[in-house]
Amino acid sequence: MQRAVLLFAPFSALGVGGCVAGTLVDVAAAPVRAAGQVADWATTSQDESDRARGREIRQREERLGELQRDYAELEDRCLAGDDHACQQAVIIRREMNEIIPTIPVERERGD
């Protein structure tokens, strides 16, 4: 029985050694993988950045459209003699003037 144990001991050591070596490689590689994942979370891809910019522009365009509708209504009331509507129209026009430069102009195709 002792002979069998002595015979298989070197082979079992090799098998365990492979497991230990594999574990050591996994342990050594874990910080590198973790750092890579953190870098992915911390950075914004160009595609994500483009989508966020497009979303912001659309929101500004929507706000400008709302302001233009409100301004047109207030302008009509102002011309009809409503002083409060004139004051509100001035406030809305200021906000419109702030938003307009932040919206990119799309060129017509063929230019």
Output 81 or 3, whichever has higher pLDDT. 81
Contact 88, 49 (CB under 8 A): no
pTM, two decimals, is 0.56
Q: Is the pLDDT of residue 22 over 90?
A: no
Q: Which two tokens stand for residue 17?
A: 């050694």
At 61, the pLDDT band (50, 70, 90 cuts) reads very high
What would the DSSP string read from start to end of 17-83?
Answer: HHHHHHHHHHHHHHHHHHHHHHHHHHS--HHHHHHHHHHHHHHHHHHHHHHHHHHHHHHHHHHTT-H
Span 25-42, pLDDT tens digits: 666 666 767 776 766 666
| Residue recorded with tokens 């989508």 | 51
Output the pLDDT for position 107. 81
- The 10s digit of each residue's pLDDT in 84-104 is 999 999 999 999 999 999 998
